[in-house]
Structure 1
């Protein structure tokens, strides 16, 4: 048994078309000391029936109404017992069976508070059309619109106890606000794992419509002003422009 326990949390709602693939990508990991937690928001489709098929591989599972994706994530964090916690969205998968092992090895070797890595965006046919290569963190780089990809964000569970959970006040930008708070404001130690660990499908909560994209701009600005970034409108512009290079 590996020493470091990693809690992986999947939150879902009416995800019958993707949840099985997500679960399989977790239970097929070579790394054995995984605590898998699934928080379902009382799905009305076959999602929870599919989850039940794999209950022998899932340490904790719940299906009940919640206040949205970040409320569900907070529920999962409250249930977690691993030293390290990360999220895997219901429509995403690990890039390969060694991803969690690479994350665990980096934490054990570097002993940092936070790890982030790279991810690929996939089309519906499974082909890669966008590559998010994070790059190394430098203090102050959030002022230039930088952020790590949230699906690759893993941190010690103690950070949630010290710095707080996802804040519903920031809506679909709650993941950005939390990473900004943990890394930029609280200055937790960070390690960049230069490796693709997650394949992410398009159509997330924050970018599934033009209205959603406009709304998240304002929520990003709210987080930037909250945490004292220099020239938030400029940081927001850089944050948007940085996505262009992911297509090349």
Structure 2
């Protein structure tokens, strides 16, 4: 599908949140400050109790869909957002994260229009509470088979055409915190979806995360990764498991 101009490309941005009062305003502001004109913004709240909805209220005119109800976790909430999305392209912006600059969605739209790909990914910076960059995730150009060696793109930078979810399925709730890894593995490695690398820092991501919060969670994430690899035809899963964390070392250099 081609569009007469880049501005014709409608991008749905989905933010899921639960008790994100401290960060949600900055997240929303980074969306409404984007230069791309044709944006559909969807927020799925998991029935927050800390005042998150009150923090969202001043921005209601910029939010196309706001739903607040209990869910079965972040990926269940994302799937709800995907079901509501009407954009040509869908991407996820976590409640603790922000776009790195005001032209990110414009650049994403240009990447889809010029390169006729069905998915785009880019680079990401991890930042601390003071906004200082502490890690730099530089993805590089994808070549078929790289997932076998522990490669993956940063999920917050992953944007794809909406019909891809209809064709290949949404986020599986069977993989716990590895559901995002499994979806990109399924799309890019198993189904060989054509992807384009946007060589630009797209997202500033707050450090932390549930999967790394405790040793038990790290072990659980590791087992979910291994299951995702086994189910999506990674050549030697144990080798990929070994290389996956080793690839993170250069993020600190």
With the shorter chain as reference, the TM-score category is over 0.9
In the TM superposition, residue 210 of structure 1 has moved relative to its aligned partner by 2.2
Aligned equivalent of 1:143, options 144, 148, 152: 148
Alignment partners' CA distance in 2, 1:227 and 1:46:
40
In the TM superposition, residue 208 of structure 1 has moved relative to its aligned partner by 2.1
SS of the residue corresponding to residue 152 of structure 2 reads: coil
Alignment partners' CA distance in 2, 1:79 and 1:105:
24
| 1:175 paired residue number | 180
Superposed, which structure 2 residues align to 1:155-170 within 5 Å?
A: 155-170=160-175
- Superposed CA deviations along residues 185-211 of structure 1, whole A, max 9, x for unmatched, are 111110000000100001122222222
Alignment partners' CA distance in 1, 2:225 and 2:100:
28
**Consecutive unaligned residues in structure 2, runs of 5 or more:** none
TM-score by length of 2: 0.97
SS of the residue corresponding to residue 8 of structure 2 reads: coil
TM-score by length of 1: 0.99
| 2:231 paired residue number | 226
Aligned length: 248
Alignment partners' CA distance in 2, 1:84 and 1:205:
27
| 2:221 paired residue number | 216
Aligned equivalent of 1:119, options 121, 124, 142: 124
- Superposed CA deviations along residues 153-207 of structure 1, whole A, max 9, x for unmatched, are 0000000000000000000000000000000111111000000010000112222
**Consecutive unaligned residues in structure 1, runs of 5 or more:** none
| 1:66 paired residue number | 71
SS of the residue corresponding to residue 47 of structure 2 reads: coil
Alignment partners' CA distance in 2, 1:9 and 1:205:
19
| 2:88 paired residue number | 83
Supply the RMSD in Å over aligned alpha carbons: 0.8
Alignment partners' CA distance in 1, 2:210 and 2:197:
25
Q: Does 1:132 align with 2:137?
A: yes
Q: Does 1:105 align with 2:141?
A: no
Aligned equivalent of 1:40, options 27, 45, 69: 45
- Superposed CA deviations along residues 131-154 of structure 1, whole A, max 9, x for unmatched, are 000011000110000000000000
Superposed, which structure 2 residues align to 1:181-220 within 5 Å?
A: 181-220=186-225
Alignment partners' CA distance in 2, 1:217 and 1:178:
16
Alignment partners' CA distance in 2, 1:159 and 1:216:
25
In the TM superposition, residue 57 of structure 1 has moved relative to its aligned partner by 0.2
| 2:27 paired residue number | 22
Aligned equivalent of 1:93, options 95, 98, 103: 98
